[in-house]
Amino acid sequence: MADRYNVLVIGGGGREHAIVWALKKSPKVNKLYCLPGNAGIAQLAHCQDIAATDIEGILAFLDGHKDINYVVVAPDDPLAMGLVDILNQKGYMTFGPKKDAAIIESSKAYAKSLMKKYNIPTADYEVFDNYDEAIKYLKTAKYPLVVKADGLALGKGVIICQDFESAQKAVKDMMIDKKFGASGDKVVIEEFLQGFEVSVLAFTDGQTLIPMPPSQDHKRALDQDLGPNTGGMGTFAPSPKFTKKMQDYAYHNIFMPTIKALQAESRTFSGVIFFGLIVDGEDIKVLEYNARFGDPEAQSVLPLLRTDLFEIFLAINEKRLDKINIEWSSDCAVCVVMASGGYPGHYQKGYPIEIGALDGNIILFHAGTAIKDNELVTNGGRVLGVTAVGQDLQAARESAYKNIHKINFKDKHFRKDIGIK
Ligand code: AMP
Ligand code: GLY
């Protein structure tokens, strides 16, 4: 075991900025690298423009940087591609699940079958790999229902359908027109559930599971949950609606059963597991699993972490998560995403970003930013995550919105109602 580590983080969004920001505080972390990173991450870590899915490029970078001895794989795609397995074979210590465990995110059909087999509460569903059979099913199904592409689809592969016509179109888009490539070879068609949504991220070494403060995402582009789905327009944590009683229920009926189910299937999960839950009165069900920190959930949860994040990573590597005490601040955090006008549809890149003097409780996480001709410019759909930490949700929200007005770029767009629901 080394005394200090030189750590490479794979990814380049707001989530990765939050991870790098947290790791930077660890006395055990010496040098930080990030691929591809962004302009904000570049202030904390050495970045190079190598995509998170460019496995060959990442391996070549590691060959050229022999001092790196720990790799954090943060995004879904490289996890699904088995980057952790490849790095372990080469002798690197890693953070993130192996491919056979990451399948709980990369195949919705697998996730559903696991939940069914182990009685983990989730929406009723059917899986189809044949277009005609899916359409036949849709003709007699109850509406609304939800059509989901089996594989990864940048959060866009879930369509809520009010009637047969829209469901038929969704299935055709996925299975025939291959809108999401091979991710749509199979579809899951499931019952529409009512309720409020909560994201619970949890650390796990495959045996012990420690939930982080519950957070709430805002997936729609516009205020009052209108407009198209996005990767997430803002989050807050902890969620006051997800009570202690609900947390206990979820721990015993969802979280631990999932970890044990994966163990029983020889797919032991190590890393951060994300439970997307929907709560309707006493009823709590799983909408989805992710095999990683959420984005933007990480930007509101990690600022509340008091314990050294890298110490938690090491405890997970050494399967001694039950031996460490993870502490959280009693504060609240609100993260408001500033997006490019047009996102999640077409948007422009390269607009200069101006940032005034921000208050001390603000952490500005970069997502789609770059440096061009020595100037900070927009470089993606989600540009920045303005996180405010305050003693309660209202204080954090007010502070986030007070400070967001000090940040400007052409066609900026953000929701005005993050933290209100
Ligand atoms: P997922 O990627 O599976 O979490 O789905 C994305 C979003 O679609 C969720 O955050 C929900 O808002 C919505 N959703 C997914 N499944 C259902 C369902 N069975 N009932 C109602 N809404 C759903
Ligand atoms: N914010 C949802 C996700 O990370 O998938």
Q: What average pLDDT does the segment 332-344 reach? A: 97
User: Which residues on neighbouring strands pair with residue 8, listed in sequence order?
Assistant: 33, 71
Q: What is the pLDDT of residue 1?
A: 63
Ligand nearest to the CA of 382: 2
Residue 2 banded pLDDT, cuts 50, 70, 90: confident
pLDDT per residue as tens digits for the range 271-290: 999 999 999 998 999 999 99
Give the whole-number percent of the chain exceeding pLDDT 70. 100
Mean pLDDT score across all residues of the chain: 97
The pair phi, psi for residue 305, each rounded to 5°, is -75, 125
The type of residue at 114 is L
Nearest CA to ligand 2 atom 4: 294
Q: What is the pLDDT of residue 267?
A: 98
Q: What average pLDDT does the segment 242-251 reach? A: 97
Q: How far apart, in whole angstroms, are the C-alpha atoms of residue 269 and residue 98? A: 7
> Is the CB of 276 within 6 Å of ligand 1?
yes
Cβ-Cβ contacts under 8 Å for 282 (sequence gap 6 or more): none
- How big is the chain, counted in residues? 421
> Is the CB of 158 within 6 Å of ligand 1?
yes
Give the pairing type, strands 382-390 and 271-280: unpaired
Ligand nearest to the CA of 215: 2
pLDDT per residue as tens digits for the range 78-134: 999 999 999 999 999 999 999 999 999 999 999 999 999 999 999 999 999 999 999
Nearest CA to ligand 1 atom 3: 288
Q: What is the pLDDT of residue 156?
A: 82
Helical packing angle, 309-317 and 14-24, nearest 10°: 90
pLDDT per residue as tens digits for the range 13-51: 999 999 999 999 999 999 999 999 999 999 999 999 999
- Indicate which atom in ligand 1 lies nearest the CA of residue 191: 19
> Is the CB of 147 within 6 Å of ligand 1?
no
- Indicate which atom in ligand 1 lies nearest the CA of residue 219: 10
Per mean pLDDT, which range of 1-5, 170-174, 311-315, 340-344 is the poorest?
A: 1-5
Query: How does DSSP classify residue 212?
Result: P
Taking 80 as the threshold, does the pLDDT of residue 356 lie above it?
yes
Q: What average pLDDT does the segment 149-154 reach? A: 92
> Which two structure tokens, joined as six digits, stand for 419?
């933290």
Taking 90 as the threshold, does the pLDDT of residue 191 lie above it?
yes
Q: What is the pLDDT of residue 20?
A: 98
Q: What average pLDDT does the segment 170-176 reach? A: 96
Q: What is the pLDDT of residue 320?
A: 98
Contact by Cβ (8 Å): 268, 291: no
What residue ranges line ligand 2, CB within 6 angstroms? 155, 217, 232, 290, 294-295, 297
User: Which residues on neighbouring strands pair with residue 365, listed in sequence order?
Assistant: 385
Nearest CA to ligand 1 atom 16: 287
Q: What is the pLDDT of residue 181?
A: 94
Q: How far apart, in whole angstroms, are the C-alpha atoms of residue 109 and residue 123? A: 12
Residue of 287, 290, 297, 421 to test ligand 1 pocket, by largest number of atoms within 8 Å of CB? 287
| Ligand 2 mean position, distance from CA 83 (Å) | 20
> Which two structure tokens, joined as six digits, stand for 214?
């519950």
Q: How far apart, in whole angstroms, are the C-alpha atoms of residue 378 and residue 340? A: 8
Helices (H), 129-163: 131-140
Q: How far apart, in whole angstroms, are the C-alpha atoms of residue 340 and residue 368? A: 9
CB atoms within 10 A of CB 240: 11
Q: What average pLDDT does the segment 232-258 reach? A: 97
Residue of 160, 180, 233 to test ligand 1 pocket, by largest number of atoms within 8 Å of CB? 160
